[in-house]
């Protein structure tokens, strides 16, 4: 008997995706994850534009992780022009990343993922029975948004994140407010971690061929080396030699592999690697969890996000204290365009992100390549979906579809 | 209950995220409206019989076109949100420079892209639009104001005055006078000038104000170090099809004649 399962419009994911599953008798015949998002040709619309335009344009790749695209492109431009920003600018960038993660992870956990585990179709429905849980999600998001608004100028696509640094820095009082906000949400972040530890995650132990992250796996890292779980460390310049991209016959996102194989990126890959580097209080909380980390269960990406949220809280406090000690400081370093190529890597909330640009002597872009987390996740999600479906073949169609959706959502592609 | 829908076409989902960022206002709104269609945030979505449909993103794929036409058919009011839906978005900034085939080939190679695409278009280039809330992303306050007005049977109104107006109200020093490229004089206000307040020139994300004087704008930008070509590209980023209003014929010469 042939079964065909199609989820044509994945809901509660950013962007547009679909899953096709074909089962023949007791065997899985085919699995396809299709991203049907319209193409926007970012590698082409950046061409012939001045370097000053690039972070602004690529910011628009993603409304949730715009900070990542702006920083990766800014760092690539600095790399091309041979400029190093100051320690203070790096710290302010780090605080901005904390804001980005608080917003993005809280949005994903509370509004996209949690309804699945609580048995609702949306957070809006859930709010009727669990108003305080939804409000907690809003409260964490709000702090993240306020940090981004304060530093970047706007919550989404803040224009004050540029190559060379910033045009202005926040007032001292604003930084103090951020510090107080962060102290205020630590209990909420701890509660989030216990909530996401208490959920019933489906079993799915599909060891990944490889896991990839920035070296050390810390989400707030501005390091320029990458690390594969087999121990290989490589530089940002070598990225395209390790991560190979090909055009997919059915998806508008390209498909990437490492050494011919699918690989895991994102919160779980990072947390698996970074456990030892976290703040002592975070380590303390991790010890209390009933789920074990590191893990190869992709559903636990949600728990990994909750771990990173708590770490974001503590990292934010530490960073803002250091900024207050250094206050006031120069917002930017001068840039002098020159001919050449530059590279930028960053851990975006969904996974490792790579930008490369080539510039002419006037600083006009003559070539670009951007490898997004979504593209790198396509292959690994398909692989995980296949093992999930094979294990759960006996389930009725509706249940199997639901599981498949939850799995894709756990990746938040 | 007023039935509303929120639809995403080709874009970054940033406007839909800003709607979710309305938080408290959103919870209050839910007492008067039911959200019948919002795939980003909920499972059961029905694109039927709506009072207001908000549309984000440009019309780029065949599927986008089908969706937005259906949306127009089933909704009494259609509101385009964000600069992709209002003008075509950043993805349309080279529509007049290169062919679609060239773009596809450069990014996806000979194999091409697996969905049917056209050059990105604004929603109003495909169906009739009742209101436009531009910006990249849209402005939260304007969204809440629009919903509140429509719920009360009042037409939302946005004066198309330049960003300079709000920048002055924010007591900022003029960035153009400081030599920083800024599109404030030709850009539709309503954002509260957050970029200029942060010391970054206005990037024009909200599109044209009424009677934009592009000739003078280009002249000001070139006096501050940009070539005419770069100045025009700077102005084009967000303006989509409305960038055709940018006229550079007879650019004012050095003497300001």
For residue A282, is it within any domain?
Answer: yes
Whether A13 maps to a domain, the answer reads: no
Place of tokens 């349309």: B92
**B252 min Cα distance to partner chain A (Å):** 23
The three-state secondary structure class of A392 is coil
Boundary (domain end) residue, out of B151, B180, B203? B151
B156 in any annotated domain: no
- From B125, B151, B177, the end of a domain falls on B151
pLDDT band at A44, cuts 50/70/90? very high
Task: Take residue A59 and report the two structure tokens written for it.
Answer: 């910011």
Q: Count other Cβ atoms within 10 Å, centred on residue B172.
A: 16
Q: What share of chain B is helix, strand, coil (3-state, %, to 5)?
A: 40, 15, 45
- Position A27 scores a pLDDT of 86
Residue B40 sits in which domain range? 2-151
- For A60-69, A389-398, B40-49, which range has the lowest pLDDT when averaged over its residues? A389-398
Q: What is the mean pLDDT of residues A125-132?
A: 93
Q: How far is A24 from chain B (nearest CA, A)?
A: 26
Domain holding A109, by residue range, is 42-411
Predicted local distance difference test score (pLDDT) of residue B238: 98
Please say if the pLDDT value at position A1 is more than 80.
no
Same domain assignment for residues B95 and B20: yes
Residues B92 and B116 in one domain: yes
**Structural domain count, chain A:** 1
Comparing CA positions, the residue from B169, B149, B123, B125 lying closest to residue B15 is: B123
The answer to whether A80 and A74 are in contact (CB under 8 A) is no
The CATH number linked to B122 is 3.40.50.700
Residue A118: CA atoms inside 13 Å, Cβ hemisphere, count? 23
* Per-residue model confidence as pLDDT tens digits over B202-213: 999 999 999 999
Report how far residue A399's alpha carbon sits from residue A402's, in angstroms, rounded to the nearest whole number. Answer: 5
Neighbours of A386 (CB within 10 A): 15
* Chain B interface disruption, residue of A45, A50, A128, most B CBs within 10 A: A45
On whether residue B60 sits in a domain, the answer given is yes
pLDDT in tens, A256-296: 999 999 999 999 999 999 999 999 999 999 999 999 999 99
Q: Is A365 exposed, middle or buried (0-12, 13-18, 19+ CB in 10 A)?
A: buried
What is the DSSP secondary structure assignment for residue B21, as one 8-state letter? T
Domain C-terminal end among B126, B151, B176: B151
Helix (H, G, I), strand (E, B) or coil at B117: strand
Please determine, for residue A15, whether its predicted confidence score (pLDDT) is greater than 80: no
- Using alpha carbons, list the distances in angstroms from residue B172 to A99, A160, A284, A317, B192: 26, 16, 47, 30, 12
Q: Which residues contact B61 (CB under 8 A, 6 or more apart)?
A: A36, A38, B10, B115, B116, B117, B118
* Per-residue pLDDT tens over the stretch B105-132: 888 888 888 889 999 999 999 999 999 9
In a domain, A18, yes or no: no
DSSP state of A237: G
- B107 & B211 share domain: no
Q: Within a domain: residue A319?
A: yes
Crossing angle of helices A397-411 and A373-391, rounded to 10°: 150
Tokens 């003559």 sit on residue: A366
Return the bridge partners of B174, or none.
Answer: none
The stretch A4-16 carries a mean pLDDT of 85
Residue A396: CB atoms within 10 A of its CB come to 8
**Interchain CB distance below 8 Å, A12 and B40:** yes
Closest residue by Cα to residue B77 from B156, B14, B139: B156
C-alpha distances (whole Å) from B207 to each of A30, A76, B38 are 46, 29, 26
Residue A327 counted as domain residue: yes
A180-227 confidence digits (pLDDT tens): 999 999 999 999 999 999 999 998 877 788 999 999 999 999 999 999
Whether the Cβ atoms of residue A75 and residue A347 lie closer than 8 Å to each other:
no
- For residue A33, tell me if it sits in a domain: no
- Are B45 and A12 inside 8 Å of each other by CB? no
Is B169's Cβ below 8 Å from some Cβ in A? no
Query: Mean pLDDT throughout A224-234?
Result: 96
Residues A60-64 have a mean pLDDT of 95
Please state which of the ranges A296-305, A374-383, B176-185, B246-255 shows the lowest mean pLDDT. Answer: B246-255
Are A413 and A373 a contacting pair, CB within 8 Å?
yes
Inter-chain contact B41–A122, Cβ cutoff 8 Å? yes
Domain count, chain B: 2
Contact A252 B203 (CB under 8 A): no
Residue B115 Cα distances to A255, A374, B89, angstroms: 16, 17, 20
pLDDT at A60: 97
In this prediction, residue B253 has a pLDDT band, given cuts at 50, 70 and 90, of: very low
DSSP string, A54-69: HHHHHHTT-SSSHHHH
Q: Which residue in B has a C-alpha nearest to residue A110's C-alpha?
A: B41
- What's A317's DSSP letter? H
- Pairwise CB contact (< 8 Å): A167 & B199: yes
Residues of B with Cβ-Cβ distance to A45 under 8 angstroms: 90-91, 93-94, 103
Q: Is residue B157 part of a domain?
A: no
More confident residue, A167 or A209: A167
Answer yes or no: is pLDDT of B255 > 90: no
φ/ψ of B187, rounded to 5, equals -115, 140
Quick one: pLDDT at residue B82? 98
Q: Above 90 in pLDDT, residue A307?
A: yes
Q: How far B14 CA sits from the closest chain A CA (Å)? A: 4
Tell me if chain A has a CB within 8 Å of the CB of B1: no
N- to C-terminal Cα separation, chain A: 32
In this prediction, residue B256 carries a pLDDT of 41
Interval A45-59: pLDDT, tens: 999 999 999 999 999
CA–CA gap between residue B81 and residue B207 (Å, rounded): 13
pLDDT score at A205: 72
DSSP A265-302: -SHHHHHHHHGGGS-HHHHHHHHT-SS-SS---GGGHH
Residue A248 is predicted with a pLDDT of 84
Residue B250: the pLDDT is 53
| B30 and B75 fall within a common domain | yes
Given an 8 Å threshold on Cβ–Cβ distance, is A107 in contact with B104? no
With respect to residue A16, please indicate whether it lies within any of the assigned structural domains.
no
More confident residue, A231 or A207: A231
B177 touches chain A (CB under 8 A): no
A80 is a domain residue = yes
Whether residue B257 is contained in a domain is answered as no
Q: Are residues B136 and B222 in the same domain?
A: no
Calculate how close chain A gets to B152, using CA atoms only, in Å.
Answer: 23
* CATH (domain of A393): 1.10.645.10
- Whether the per-residue pLDDT at A360 is higher than 80: the answer is yes
Dihedrals phi, psi of B9, to nearest 5 degrees: -100, -135
Same domain, B181 and B147: no
pLDDT band at B249 (very low <50, low <70, confident <90, very high): low
B143 and B181 in a single domain? The answer is no
Cis check: omega of the bond before A97, within 30 degrees of 0: no
Residue B252 covered by a domain: no
Report d(CA A351, CA A338) in Å as an integer: 31
Instruction: Say yes or no: B230 and B174 in one domain.
Output: yes
For residue range B217-241, list pLDDT tens digits in order.
999 999 988 999 999 999 999 999 9
């Amino acid at each position: 008997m042939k079964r065909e399962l199609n989820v044509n419009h994945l809901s509660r994911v950013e962007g547009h995706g679909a899953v096709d599953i074909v089962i023949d008798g007791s065997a899985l015949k085919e699995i396809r994850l299709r991203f049907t998002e319209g193409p926007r040709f970012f590698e082409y619309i950046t061409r012939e534009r001045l370097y000053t335009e690039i972070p602004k344009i690529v910011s628009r790749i993603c409304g949730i992780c715009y900070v990542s695209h702006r920083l990766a492109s800014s760092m690539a431009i600095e790399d091309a022009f041979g400029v190093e920003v100051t320690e203070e600018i790096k710290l302010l960038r780090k605080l901005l990343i904390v804001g980005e993660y608080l917003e993005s992870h809280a949005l994903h956990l509370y509004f996209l993922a949690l309804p699945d585990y609580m048995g609702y179709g949306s957070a809006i429905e859930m709010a009727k029975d669990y108003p305080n849980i939804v409000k907690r999600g809003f409260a964490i998001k709000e702090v993240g948004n306020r940090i981004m608004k304060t530093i970047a100028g706007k919550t989404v696509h803040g224009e004050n994140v540029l190559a060379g640094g910033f045009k202005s820095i926040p007032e001292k009082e604003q930084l103090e407010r951020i510090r107080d906000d962060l102290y205020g949400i630590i209990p909420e972040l701890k509660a989030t971690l216990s909530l996401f530890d208490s959920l019933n995650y489906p079993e799915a132990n599909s060891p990944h061929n490889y896991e990839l992250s920035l070296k050390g796996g810390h989400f707030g890292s501005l390091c320029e080396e990458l690390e594969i779980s087999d121990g290989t460390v490589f530089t940002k310049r070598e990225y395209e030699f390790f991560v190979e991209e090909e055009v997919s016959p059915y998806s508008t996102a390209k498909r990437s592999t490492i050494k011919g194989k699918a690989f895991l990126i994102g919160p779980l890959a990072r947390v698996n690697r970074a456990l030892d580097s976290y703040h002592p209080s975070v380590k303390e909380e991790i010890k209390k969890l009933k789920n074990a980390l590191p893990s190869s269960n992709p559903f636990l990406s949600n728990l990994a996000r909750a771990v990173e949220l708590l770490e974001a809280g503590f990292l934010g406090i530490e960073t803002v204290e250091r900024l207050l000690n250094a206050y006031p400081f120069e917002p930017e370093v001068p840039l002098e365009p020159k001919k050449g190529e530059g590279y930028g890597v960053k851990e975006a909330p969904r996974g490792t992100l790579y930008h490369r640009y080539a510039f002419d002597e006037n600083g006009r872009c003559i070539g670009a390549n951007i490898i997004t987390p979504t593209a790198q996740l396509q292959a690994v999600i398909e692989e995980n979906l296949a093992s999930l479906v094979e294990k759960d073949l006996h389930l009725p169609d509706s249940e199997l579809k639901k599981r498949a959706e939850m799995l894709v959502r756990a990746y938040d592609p | 209950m007023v039935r509303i829908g929120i639809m995403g076409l080709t874009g970054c989902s940033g406007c839909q995220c800003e709607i979710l960022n309305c938080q408290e206002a959103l919870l209050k709104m839910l007492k008067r409206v039911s959200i019948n269609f919002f795939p980003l945030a909920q499972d059961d979505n029905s694109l039927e019989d709506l009072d207001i449909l908000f549309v984000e993103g440009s019309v780029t794929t065949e599927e986008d076109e089908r969706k937005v036409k259906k949306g127009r058919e089933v909704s009494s009011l259609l509101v385009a949100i964000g600069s992709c839906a209002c003008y075509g978005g950043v993805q349309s900034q080279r529509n007049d420079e290169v062919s679609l085939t060239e773009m596809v080939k450069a990014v996806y190679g000979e194999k091409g892209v697996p969905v049917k695409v056209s050059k990105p278009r604004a929603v109003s280039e495909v169906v009739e639009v009742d209101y436009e809330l531009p910006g990249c992303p849209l402005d939260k306050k304007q969204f809440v104001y629009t919903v509140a007005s429509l719920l009360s049977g009042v037409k939302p109104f946005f004066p198309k005055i330049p960003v300079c107006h709000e920048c002055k109200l924010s007591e900022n020093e003029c960035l153009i006078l400081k030599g920083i490229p800024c599109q404030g004089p030709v850009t539709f206000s309503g954002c509260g000038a957050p970029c200029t307040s942060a010391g970054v020139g206005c990037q024009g994300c909200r599109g044209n104000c009424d009677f934009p004087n592009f000739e003078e704008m280009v002249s000001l930008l070139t006096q501050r170090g940009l070539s005419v070509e770069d100045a025009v590209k700077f102005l084009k980023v967000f303006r989509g099809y409305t960038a055709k209003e940018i006229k550079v014929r007879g650019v004012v010469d050095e003497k300001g004649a």
